[in-house]
Amino acid sequence: MQQKRRAQRLHNVALLDVRPGGTVQDPRTDQPVSFRELASAQLPRLYSIARRLVGDDAEDAVQECLLKGFQRYGQLKAAQSGPAWLKTILVNSCRDRARVAARRPYKIDFDEVEKFSLYRKIAYEDPFPYSDSLHLDFLGEFGPEDVRAVLMRIPALYRIPLVLVYMDGFLAKELARRFDVPLGTVLSRLHRGRKLFEKQLWEYAEETGLLKEGAR
């Protein structure tokens, strides 16, 4: 029921109507795609991306994206660029949320994280003793919701570049340009994000019993 209400709220925002090259007050009707059509078509994709980037804040991030898109739709010169344009607005909204979250104190022992190796850990613990493909069997225990849960354990500062590069196909240099940070900063966050993800994969598997299930 909650999911249906969330979908309805997002759908209501998507019903706002204006066309590229126009404004809310004076929409141009000679363009083939209205904002309502664009937003309705892109809504599932936007929400899926936001869920991976900001977790429970996904609905707010998408609403913010659609409202900003609605306000600026008159600036869009080509309707076919609409999907990528909306995705950019969403990513920027999620980035801003990550900046706020980054100000909250959290403690990570990166010396410990750097020492951790998922490959070595699986080989040492040998959770599937009769397996010929130990590491693949380990990863095969994780469903989409498990992966999302692991991602949500990683601070947004490292999670967002990790998702955008390895799941959504952005280039590191593109993120550096979009986020207005040096390329080295993005690469450092990607490295730390990967190490954190590996460590959290193992801890999540232990805590949720995935290893016991796989061993049966």
**Do 62 and 91 reside in the same domain of the chain?**
yes
**Among candidate residues 1, 8, 98, 96, the one with its CA nearest the CA of residue 47:** 8
Instruction: Please say which residue of 77, 102, 127 terminates a domain.
Output: 102
**Both tokens of residue 8?**
């309805």
**Do 96 and 138 reside in the same domain of the chain?**
no
- Give the whole-angstrom CA distance, residue 79 versus residue 19: 9
- pLDDT tens by residue, 146-155: 998 999 889 8
Q: From the CA atom positions of the chain, what is the Rg in Å?
A: 21
**Do 80 and 10 reside in the same domain of the chain?**
yes
Is pLDDT larger for residue 132 or for residue 199?
199
Question: Mapping DSSP to helix (H, G, I), strand (E, B) and coil, where does residue 170 land?
Answer: coil
**Residue 108 identity (one-letter amino acid):** I
**Do 7 and 82 reside in the same domain of the chain?**
yes
Q: What is the pLDDT of residue 165?
A: 92
Instruction: Please say which residue of 102, 128, 151 terminates a domain.
Output: 102
Please, which residues have CB within 8 angstroms of residue 62's CB and are 6 or more apart in sequence? 10, 13, 43, 46, 47, 50, 90
**Do 114 and 210 reside in the same domain of the chain?**
yes
Task: Please say if the pLDDT value at position 99 is more than 80.
Answer: no
Q: How confident is the model at residue 215 (pLDDT cuts 50, 70, 90)?
A: very low
Torsion sign, CA atoms 17, 31, 45, 92: negative
Instruction: Please say which residue of 102, 133, 160 terminates a domain.
Output: 102
**Do 114 and 88 reside in the same domain of the chain?**
no
* H-helix or E-strand spanning residue 85: helix 82-102
105 near 61, Cβ under 8 Å?
no
How many Cβ atoms from other residues are within 10 Å of residue 83's Cβ? 14
* DSSP calls for 22-44: --SSS--SSSS--HHHHHHHHHH
Q: What is the pLDDT of residue 209?
A: 86
Question: Mapping DSSP to helix (H, G, I), strand (E, B) and coil, where does residue 198 land?
Answer: helix
Question: Mapping DSSP to helix (H, G, I), strand (E, B) and coil, where does residue 8 land?
Answer: helix
Q: What is the pLDDT of residue 156?
A: 86
- pLDDT tens by residue, 109-148: 778 888 888 889 888 888 887 777 888 888 888 998 899 8
The model's pTM is 0.66
Question: Mapping DSSP to helix (H, G, I), strand (E, B) and coil, where does residue 77 land?
Answer: coil
What's the domain count of the chain?
2
- pLDDT tens by residue, 60-83: 889 899 988 888 888 888 878 889
**Do 118 and 36 reside in the same domain of the chain?**
no
**Do 7 and 96 reside in the same domain of the chain?**
yes
Give the CATH number of the domain where residue 76 resides: 1.10.1740
**Both tokens of residue 25?**
């007050």
Q: Residue 90's domain spans which residues?
A: 2-102
- Give the whole-angstrom CA distance, residue 207 versus residue 194: 20
Give the CATH number of the domain where residue 121 resides: 1.10.10.10
**Do 159 and 195 reside in the same domain of the chain?**
yes
Percent of the chain at pLDDT > 90 equals 20
**Residue 138 identity (one-letter amino acid):** F
Q: What is the pLDDT of residue 134?
A: 83
**Do 98 and 135 reside in the same domain of the chain?**
no
Q: How confident is the model at residue 192 (pLDDT cuts 50, 70, 90)?
A: very high
Q: How confident is the model at residue 16 (pLDDT cuts 50, 70, 90)?
A: very low
- Give the whole-angstrom CA distance, residue 17 versus residue 33: 10
Is pLDDT larger for residue 145 or for residue 214?
145
**Do 115 and 210 reside in the same domain of the chain?**
yes
**Do 92 and 39 reside in the same domain of the chain?**
yes
